[in-house]
Amino acid sequence: MSDTSHDHLTLLGRAAPLPKDPASAKLERIPNRAGQTNYVVRLTCPEFTSVCPLTGQPDFAHIVIDYVPGDWLVESKSFKLLMASYRNHGAFHEECTMDIAGRLVALLSPVWLRIGAYWFPRGGIPIDVFWQSGSPPDAAWIPAQDVPMYRGRG
């Protein structure tokens, strides 16, 4: 971990417009000062929005990301802007979910990361997407995501 200052951050503490799409969103990181400790960081986006690439209809999800950081943490403002950049982006549920996970893994090189994307039904079918980078470390407490699955009526 060579970055000890925050001079490299371009979004934190500055006015930043919403990126027009995920490809133009800049995801940034900050040093993890507790790098030798296995602990979990949870990022939750309960109002994630994208659009269907075929119909243009909105899709909504509750996204929960847990990761055990290595040398880096995601800078939260850049993460919020990334998530908001999907609002008008046409992509299927699986593509959005895996793009977010891939961006975080590439930026942070975490010890472990999992994403649970709980998509609200359209056409009566919820499509939930789950991925993790491998087994979590033994010493880390990994809480349940506790997002109820869609149960239909009743």
Q: Other CB atoms closer than 10 Å to residue 35's CB: what's the count?
A: 13
Is 138 within a domain? no
H/E element holding 130?
A: strand 129-132
Is 90 within a domain? yes
The set of catalytic residues is 52, 59
CATH code of the domain covering residue 103: 3.30.1130.10
pTM above 0.85?
Answer: yes
Count of domains observed in the chain: 1
- Smallest CA-to-CA distance from 124 within 146, 87, 150 is with 150
User: Domain limits at 101?
Assistant: 25-31+38-132
Is 109 within a domain? yes
Per-residue model confidence as pLDDT tens for the chain (154 residues): 444 555 566 666 667 788 899 999 999 999 999 978 999 999 999 999 999 999 999 999 999 999 999 999 999 999 999 999 999 999 999 999 999 999 999 999 999 999 999 999 888 888 999 999 999 999 899 999 988 776 654 4
Is 106 within a domain? yes
Q: ∠17-83-22 over CA atoms, to 5°?
A: 70
Is 153 within a domain? no
Return the percent helix, strand and coil in the chain, to nearest 5: 20, 30, 55
Do 6 and 72 meet the contact criterion of CB atoms below 8 Å apart?
A: no
Backbone φ and ψ for 48, nearest 5 degrees, come out as -70, 140
